[in-house]
Structure 1
Amino acid sequence: MTLEHALLPVRPGHEDDFEAAFRQAKTIIASMPGFRSLTLSRCLERPSTYLLLVEWDGLEDHTVGFRGSAEYQQWRQLLHHFYEPFPTVEHYEHVLTA
């Protein structure tokens, strides 16, 4: 399992529109092969920043399968104009649970 981690800096004042667009976009990503689950959380200290965590079966399900798909273009169209600056996306593998 691969965990995608992205801090999403949404332009201040556009949080409600972003959340509405994300509700639409989540159906796109959820339909992709290798997708397991996602959570979107809003920062309490910086309310224009969101944390996106997506579980994938493997790294390539995200980096090749999703990002190389026509569905990703729809995702981009719905969400990417909200970000300032564009987020950094990183991938993690599970090490330990307590």
Structure 2
Amino acid sequence: MIRKGFKMKLYPGMEKEYEKRHNELWPEMQQMIHEHGGHNYSIYLDPETLVLYGYIEIEDEELWAKSADTEINRKWWDFMADIMETNPDNSPVAVDLHPVFHLD
């Protein structure tokens, strides 16, 4: 497995809505994540900065990259665009984090 960490950012006041939407994650979105090799996915919020820290384990970088072009993923991006920083295509502004330590 390949471990990936990244950060994104919420708009002020959207903390509860972000959590609600993820607690109600569409089954089709869950299925797409798994079909594209995503496992053990977590997102954490720093309430002081509204920065979201994501962690996911993927099977293959190329397979995972293809998930961005799925219809369900594009629909999810559109659904989330009103509560977080996004790029012009509604993908979240995400910055990969450099791993500095891991312990099994």
The TM tier, using the shorter chain, reads 0.7 to 0.9
The change in CA–CA distance for 1:62 and 1:51 in structure 2 (over 3 A counts) is: same
The change in CA–CA distance for 1:84 and 1:68 in structure 2 (over 3 A counts) is: closer
Query: Is the aligned partner of 1:83 residue 2:88?
Result: no
> 2:41 corresponds to which letter in structure 1?
L
The change in CA–CA distance for 1:11 and 1:97 in structure 2 (over 3 A counts) is: same
Equivalent residue, structure 2, for 1:19: 19
**How high is the TM-score relative to the length of structure 2?**
0.70
Cα distance, 1:96 vs. partner?
5.4
Equivalent residue, structure 2, for 1:74: 75
Q: Deviations over 1:50-83 (max 9, x none)?
A: 111111111122211x112111112212223322
The change in CA–CA distance for 1:26 and 1:58 in structure 2 (over 3 A counts) is: farther
Equivalent residue, structure 2, for 1:97: 103
Identify unmatched segments of 5+ residues in structure 2. 87-91
SS of equivalent residue, structure 1 residue 21? helix
Whether the 8 Å CA contact 1:14–1:82 is kept in 2: the answer is: yes
SS of equivalent residue, structure 1 residue 50? strand
**How high is the TM-score relative to the length of structure 1?**
0.73
The change in CA–CA distance for 1:96 and 1:14 in structure 2 (over 3 A counts) is: closer
Pairs aligned (count): 95
Identity over aligned pairs, percent = 14
Deviates further, 15-24 or 79-88? 79-88
